[in-house]
Structure 1
Amino acid sequence: MHETRLDIPQILSRLPLFQELAPEQIAALEPACRERRLAKGEMLFQKGDLPKGFYVIVFGQIKLAFPSSQGNEKVMQIVGPRQSFGEAIMFLNRPCPVFAEGLVDSLLLHIGSGPVFALLESDPLFARRMLAGLSMRLHSLVQDVETYSLRSSAQRVVGYLLQQCPQDGPCEGSFDISLPTSKQVIASRLNLTPETLSRIFHDLAVNGLIGVSGKQITIKDAKRLREFDL
């Protein structure tokens, strides 16, 4: 059975980074794009690999993490559909400081650096959008450091749960959310052990703030949850 060929120009034009580009600019990028399908648990690249471009996710979910000599890992970022990653390392042309692994079956596009650099030189608006994306990522990392340094374990978990609020509804009262990945990955992302995360979920449930059923979480009272452990 033959796989359907991707319409790369259409995919690129729907991504926030590229959606303002003219058709001829999209066409110039197409030869540099390579489709990459990744199975759950499959490595995309390892720490120390040299970048030759960056990635955008068509569908799926990718984990970026630091490995350790003890076999543990620290999840730095979880990247989802229509998001990109790897731009900063592409600019620096240095070995990757993290590894990338598929959390679910995923489809990505690898975009080679050459045409991207040419586009950056010819299109100031595109350059500003890419710079804005990198700046937002840096701001997010600074917020992470603040969270790990100044907030308790429970406050980190509460903040994470409230961030999962459905985009099509108000984050007030009672609502349901679905955790986007495993509790082990979430614990690492929040700089917690899985045991600590489970204990906090249990404490929140005992206090009548949430209900837990696998990956399904019911926020019973968003206002009370925000005030927990302040």
Structure 2
Amino acid sequence: MSSPSNHVAVEITRYLAVQPLFRGINDDDLARIVDQGCSLVRVPRCRNLFSAGDICDSLHIVITGRIKVFALAANGSEKVLELIGPGQSLGESAIFNDKRHGFSALSLSDSLLLRIPKAALVAQIGRDPNFSLRLLAQASQRIQNLLHDVESYCLHSGLQRVVGFLLKGQSDESCAPARPRTVSLPVSKATIASRLSLTPEYFSRVLRELEDEGLIQISRRDIHILQPRELASYTLQ
């Protein structure tokens, strides 16, 4: 496996060193990881990073941009499973058990990712057992997030899911921020609706209802939360 050129290696090392997973690793080990085939991957908007069934042989960390992880039903309908942004990763769930990707990933904007081959990760685990604990913690957090999503889909109404999204998971009045603030939708409303297991029409209808109640104000992709505490308690009425 060829090593990146000097200039590219320096750039990759710089990106690698600031990622939480690799923070604290000494310079020699960072250089070894980079030399084992790490690369920067530029993915244009609306281009697949990988598809369901592809071999998973690398971990990808998003540097800039946003990636949609999704599944396709037999009838062609799409379910958005995750929206991956800067600092987040893809691939840890399949890379170590020799499984193929179970889902597809598509860039929602021009994106830059750091690709780290499985061999480089395995070698670092051998040198530093604490690194394996960080990998386990990261994978565990991913699983917890997905379980939380399943709980939300099964136990929370569509209205509760929308309010929870706007308040970033804060679902009760005591936890809701008191001051007005603005949520800028990172992707289209249709994508967010799919992420929340809602139809785009229902998602828009709930937003209009909240706006009619004077709880939010919508300005394209900016949603101004005018009364956060009242918004949090609105689902209890």
TM bucket by the smaller chain? over 0.9
* CA distance in 2: counterparts of 1:29 and 1:118, whole angstroms: 8
Give the counterpart of 1:45 among 27, 46, 50: 50
The AA in structure 2 aligned to 1:198 is S
**Deviation per residue, 1:130-166 (Å, 9 max, x gap):** 110001111111111110011000000000011189x
The AA in structure 1 aligned to 2:26 is A
Partner of residue 214, structure 2: 208
Q: Are 2:226 and 1:226 aligned?
A: no
The AA in structure 2 aligned to 1:193 is T
Partner of residue 4, structure 2: none
Segments ≥4 residues shifted beyond 3 Å: none
* CA distance in 2: counterparts of 1:41 and 1:7, whole angstroms: 25
**Deviation per residue, 1:139-197 (Å, 9 max, x gap):** 111111110011000000000011189xxxx9322111211111011001000000000
Match runs of 1:80-229 below 5 Å:
80-163=85-168, 171-229=177-235
Q: Are 2:24 and 1:24 aligned?
A: no
Instruction: Find the residue that maps to 2:95 and give its secondary structure.
Output: helix
The AA in structure 2 aligned to 1:16 is P
Partner of residue 3, structure 2: none
* CA distance in 2: counterparts of 1:37 and 1:56, whole angstroms: 12
Q: State the percentage of identical aligned residues.
A: 37
Partner of residue 13, structure 2: 9
- Tell me how many residue pairs correspond in the alignment: 223
Asked whether the 8 Å contact 1:164–1:177 carries over to 2, the reply is no
Asked whether the 8 Å contact 1:47–1:97 carries over to 2, the reply is yes
1:97 CA drift (Å): 0.7
* CA distance in 2: counterparts of 1:131 and 1:207, whole angstroms: 44
Q: What RMSD in Å do the two structures reach over aligned CA positions?
A: 1.5
The AA in structure 2 aligned to 1:35 is L
1:9 CA drift (Å): 0.7
* CA distance in 2: counterparts of 1:9 and 1:34, whole angstroms: 10
Greater shift after overlay, 98-107 or 170-179?
A: 170-179
Q: TM-score, normalised by structure 2?
A: 0.91
* CA distance in 1: counterparts of 2:79 and 2:29, whole angstroms: 38
Asked whether the 8 Å contact 2:12–2:39 carries over to 1, the reply is no
Q: TM-score, normalised by structure 1?
A: 0.93
1:204 CA drift (Å): 0.4
**Deviation per residue, 1:1-31 (Å, 9 max, x gap):** xxx8461111100001001101011101112
